[in-house]
Amino acid sequence: MSTKTYAAFNEVDALAPHTIKRRQLSPKDIFIDIEYCGVCHSDIHTAKGDWGKPNYPVVPGHEIIGRIKEVGSEVTNFKVGDLVGVGCMVESCQDCHPCEEGLEQYCENGFTGTYNSKNSKHGGVTYGGYSENIVVEEKFVLRVPENIDVKAAAPLLCAGITTWSPLRHWNVKPGDKVGVIGLGGLGHMGVKFAKAMGAHVVMITTSESKGADAKKLGADEVLISKDNAQMEAHKNSFDFLLNTIPVKHDANPYLNLLKLDKTMCIVGAIEPIEAVNGGLLVMKRKNLAGSLIGGIKETQEMLDFCGEHNIVSDVEVIDIQTINTAYERMMKSDVKYRFVIDIKSLKEA
């Protein structure tokens, strides 16, 4: 089937319309008619080749929400018409230790990403959600609660789970002082979830202008990271730090903020970060860690939690024709707080 998409063709040119073919349905496949797709900073990193040369043309998008249009003969958990989501993964080996634990993102044989991944099972390269539709195996399809705002729920599939998973893994609990570093797509979900888990939340930002918004999102305090006096005042006081900065940076001023034994988890910078001062870790037994999205089971738990507590993203809905402007704005930290593409603009083009 011929499907309209937007794709990046090389590192420098703007994304442009592109037609692809989706595969015929296998017995376990689900055909999803896409309604909305969020714009993650990872889309930009991939399209621009920040993480190495991708498989051009790249059709980004891994915050996908839509309705099921067709199901394969062996699909048991979903039916035509269901509201569903697809996040960053579409396949994994299902056989290794992490897969058996429901941690497919750490699959020892490498999971298949929703876009720009070689598809070992079905062939070809995967194409993401800047697209009219997608075909995904049932195992990697998430159920989206019907009561939440569909367009604002799309970012939960990546920004949501990527912040939910570490907050849960490091057991954030009522009364903990939690810092969320970087107020973008991930950061704003981190603030909402940490607040919902009962933490005292501090938004740690480079942008003074985002302070008032951070409080509206649920932050109890705002800490401007460029202000040394403020950073000094919060020294050795945090129970957990969630670091969403998308590029390499000096992590030492943030490590300085942690209490004895506590952890800073990096989710943004997947490149060599600047030299970490071992003394900061040694002297107070601090931990520097990382975390990758989240498993399918915990993604479903997060979506169910969002349905119960009415938690969604703050989004700016765009037509796909303005995607390149959205990328430029995100690279200047100018986004409140997630762009979401209305896929109707692609279907009607």
The residues of the shown chain that bind Zn ion, judged by CB under 5 A, are 40, 42, 158
Q: Which residues, at least 6 apart from 292, have a Cβ–Cβ distance to it below 8 Å?
A: 105, 106, 162, 267
**Does 179 participate in binding ligand NAP (rule CB under 6 A)?**
no
Task: Identify whether the C-beta of residue 104 lies closer than 8 Å to the C-beta of residue 8.
Answer: no
Dig out the tokens for 16 from the structure.
């442009």
DSSP summary character for residue 87: -
Among 84, 86, 267, 341, binds ligand NAP (CB under 6 A): 267
Among 4, 18, 45, 286, binds ligand NAP (CB under 6 A): 45
Among 129, 185, 218, 307, binds ligand NAP (CB under 6 A): 185
Q: Which does residue 333 touch among Zn ion, ligand NAP, none (CB within 5 to 8 A, set by kind)? A: ligand NAP
How far apart are alpha carbons 153 and 314 in whole angstroms? 9
CB of 104: closest distance to ligand NAP in angstroms?
Answer: 13
E strands in 101-230? 112-113, 133-137, 142-143, 177-181, 200-205, 221-224
**Does 231 participate in binding ligand NAP (rule CB under 6 A)?**
no
Q: Which does residue 182 touch among Zn ion, ligand NAP, none (CB within 5 to 8 A, set by kind)? A: ligand NAP
Which residues inside 268-297 make contact with ligand NAP, applying CB under 6 A? 268, 291-293
Residue among 152, 157, 210 at smallest CA distance from 181? 210
**Does 249 participate in binding ligand NAP (rule CB under 6 A)?**
yes
- Give the number of residues in contact with ligand NAP, rule: CB under 6 A: 30
Say whether 119 sits in a helix, a strand or coil: coil
**Does 252 participate in binding ligand NAP (rule CB under 6 A)?**
no
CA 285-290-293 angle, 5° bins: 150
How far apart are alpha carbons 28 and 43 in whole angstroms? 27
Residue facing ligand NAP at closest CB distance: 184
Q: In angstroms, how far is CA 186 from the centroid of its own chain? A: 6
CB of 112: closest distance to ligand NAP in angstroms?
Answer: 15
Among 335, 340, 341, 343, binds ligand NAP (CB under 6 A): 335
CB of 208: closest distance to ligand NAP in angstroms?
Answer: 9
How far apart are alpha carbons 174 and 165 in whole angstroms? 17
Q: In angstroms, how far is CA 187 from the centroid of its own chain? A: 10
Radius of gyration of the chain (CA): 20
CB of 185: closest distance to ligand NAP in angstroms?
Answer: 4
Among 59, 142, 153, 183, binds ligand NAP (CB under 6 A): 183
**Does 246 participate in binding ligand NAP (rule CB under 6 A)?**
yes
In terms of CB distance, is 40 or 266 closer to Zn ion?
A: 40
- Piece of the chain touching ligand NAP by CB under 6 A; list 35-43, 65-73, 136-144, 297-305: 35-43
Say whether 238 sits in a helix, a strand or coil: strand
E strands in 247-314? 258-266, 287-290
**Does 7 participate in binding ligand NAP (rule CB under 6 A)?**
no
CB of 239: closest distance to ligand NAP in angstroms?
Answer: 21
Residue among 157, 95, 89 at smallest CA distance from 119? 89
Query: Which residues in this chain contact ligand NAP in the complex, by CB under 6 A?
Result: 40-42, 45, 158-159, 162, 182-187, 205-207, 210, 244-247, 249, 267-268, 291-293, 330, 333, 335
